[in-house]
Structure 1
């Protein structure tokens, strides 16, 4: 696709968006300690990045805690309420109609049918929690910044950033779940590992969450993935550490503890085992 046809495609998407509403909410907002909002629901997809503090998002049947640098994605028509933490909360908010993402739906051409708003933002994924994903946070921030500054051709940039955001969320969902696996216990274990990799998690806790014993947990991972649960956990941590090393100013030691490793020495050893190079060497690539 040449530059002219790409620009024409962007023009068409921008033009077709109803009243060119690229977002309904795009802001940074502060909440006082224990301040509450809701319950309410809306058609808009809501993305909140916790810039400072912590908070609780309450749904009809569950409450989910969010801490600094975590992202919550609330899908359309999900009834929810918000409560700030003891020290207050600062959120970067972005809310937009699902029609934004529908412009990137390639299923009509049989291209990557799985990459659609319907499959990602379904009832099963009514609330998505994303931990330590710098690229998704930055995609949201770019959209918010462009909508606030409104520089020339900002609409076109915002449309491209939405496409990037959709792909990054899709990647996260693809990595966080195991759709090809039919074993519910293994799915629960994998989901729990991916949501808690940055904590001092134990295999006993993983097994308990999945409703099975540790021995059977190891058997499931060996049978379906040909890997141990601990090695799988370390793979998650190493993948996240590479992202942080390449996309943040965090030191190697800070990345080590952010990703759940107990010591820089162990982090370096596991990193070199999996990547063949040290964390320091990855910075020079």
Structure 2
């Protein structure tokens, strides 16, 4: 495809063990896996492929594909000249900032498939305005991918922040006093922190804090002779009554019975 050739979309079928040798293009490419399994190498980075995997290939990116089974791939190829200047900055730049393989969520994959089918239809008609239709559909596709890229970047950021919070709890469980304290250290609201942490670890930060404290308590009950009051305050509980209530609710027995039952066994 030359720099000034039209946007093209075509289907590529691969048999098991077919190998597309490393190569590159001067154009932008989006490869969408309709069915089958395989692997893709982008600039020496290896990625697995499965249905709804989408490969984003910026110009001059060396890439190759190995089919692990029969595999059908839709290939969309275009040049920057086919997108207006504003879209080049707002859509192409973020979507093609790097080569990668995306696993789209159910909604995004459905929208992408729908737009690709529409583009195939417009391409097959070749009436007087089909080129305009394809370019409009291309802009819609890039817009969806731009939004999906933003969403994935946000998820990655939340994963990193949640990991930091988990490590903070692991190291400071004995001195954390409230959820507001943790949220303040992260510079976000407690509500957003709860949502973010729960999406990654399927529990709230306070629930995880309680688990960490109780794990420490059980270890101290079975491996030391410290009295229960000392243990209670050493792990960060602010009152003995709260400690007894939480321990019995989560463990099933009071702390002293746990000690007499399990001391010397762990």
TM-score by length of 1: 0.54
Total equivalences in the alignment: 183
Give, in angstroms, the shift of residue 92 of structure 1.
1.3
* Per-residue deviation, residues 102-130 of structure 1 (Å, max 9, x unmatched): x15268xxxxx6x24234322xx222414
Give, in angstroms, the shift of residue 97 of structure 1.
1.4
Residue aligning to 1:39: 22
* Per-residue deviation, residues 173-220 of structure 1 (Å, max 9, x unmatched): 1111139xxxxxx638369xxxxxxxxxxxxxx95xx9x84957x969
CA distance, structure 2, for counterparts of residue 227 and residue 134 of structure 1: 30
Give, in angstroms, the shift of residue 171 of structure 1.
0.6
Change (3 A) 1:97 1:232: same
**Aligned ranges for residues 1-285 of structure 1 at < 5 Å?**
21-23=5-7, 25-85=8-68, 87-101=69-83, 103-105=84-86, 115-122=90-97, 125-131=98-104, 132=106, 133-178=109-154, 187=157, 189=159, 213=167, 215=169, 223=186, 224=188, 225-229=192-196, 231-232=198-199
Secondary structure of the residue that 1:227 maps to in structure 2? helix
CA distance, structure 2, for counterparts of residue 147 and residue 234 of structure 1: 46
CA distance, structure 2, for counterparts of residue 106 and residue 26 of structure 1: 20
CA distance, structure 1, for counterparts of residue 124 and residue 63 of structure 2: 27
Instruction: Determine if contact 2:22/2:62 at 8 Å carries over to the other structure.
Output: yes
* Per-residue deviation, residues 33-91 of structure 1 (Å, max 9, x unmatched): 01100200112111111111112111233101121122221111111111011x22111
Secondary structure of the residue that 2:61 maps to in structure 1? coil
Instruction: Determine if contact 1:49/1:72 at 8 Å carries over to the other structure.
Output: yes
Secondary structure of the residue that 1:173 maps to in structure 2? helix
Which structure 1 residue ranges, 5 or more long, are not aligned?
1-16, 108-112, 180-185, 192-205, 236-285
Instruction: Determine if contact 1:75/1:127 at 8 Å carries over to the other structure.
Output: no
Give, in angstroms, the shift of residue 228 of structure 1.
4.0
Change (3 A) 1:68 1:120: closer
* Per-residue deviation, residues 135-170 of structure 1 (Å, max 9, x unmatched): 122222322321133234111211210111121111
Instruction: Determine if contact 1:104/1:163 at 8 Å carries over to the other structure.
Output: no
* Per-residue deviation, residues 210-266 of structure 1 (Å, max 9, x unmatched): 9x84957x969x93542344643599xxxxxxxxxxxxxxxxxxxxxxxxxxxxxxx
TM-score by length of 2: 0.58
Which structure 2 residue ranges, 5 or more long, are not aligned?
171-178, 203-266
Instruction: Determine if contact 2:29/2:77 at 8 Å carries over to the other structure.
Output: yes
* Per-residue deviation, residues 14-47 of structure 1 (Å, max 9, x unmatched): xxx975x322x42112101011002001121111
Structure label with greater radius of gyration: 2
